[in-house]
Amino acid sequence: MHPAPDISSEIRFRTARSSGKGGQNVNKVETMVEGIFDIGASMLLSEQDKQLLFSQLAHRITKSGLLQVRSRAARTQLANKEAVSDRMNALVRQALQPRKVRRASRPTAASREKRIQQKKQLSEKKQGRRKHWDG
């Protein structure tokens, strides 16, 4: 499988005023950045990659097929833009990484034997707690 492409060139950014750090700056500068990536319209991804993204990131994608990420942690718009871009690329990279197939394994003979011995010990312990009486 090929490495995930850098989608930074296809991310649209939208800004808004942010809450949080920045003092009076918060009231006048739009530092909160929202990144929007239209997966369906991407020229960097193959159809197979798009389908994989839709299934892997379903909880993060809007009904119209947009992946949205917001950042308002930093005090500057530029830093928040970089944070959004990095986060989106990380999400795409992670979603496109092939998953390891889990193969069912069976317990070893030694572990089965150990389990049976533990059950016998517990049974004997409980047997010893019973009241013994001659009816």
pLDDT bracket for residue 26 (50, 70, 90): low
Q: Quick one: fold of 8-96?
A: Double Stranded RNA Binding Domain (3.30.160)
Residue 60 DSSP symbol: G
Per-residue tokens: 101: 């197939």
The 10s digit of each residue's pLDDT in 112-135 is 999 999 999 999 999 989 877 765
Give pLDDT tens digits for 76-107. 888 999 999 999 999 988 988 888 899 999 99
Non-local CB neighbours of 13 within 8 Å, separated by 6+ positions:
33, 34, 35, 36, 81, 84
Residues 29-38 have pLDDT tens digits of: 777 888 999 8
What's the mean pLDDT in 66-78? 86
Comparison of pLDDT for 4 and 12, the residue scoring more: 12
| Domain spans, the chain | 8-96
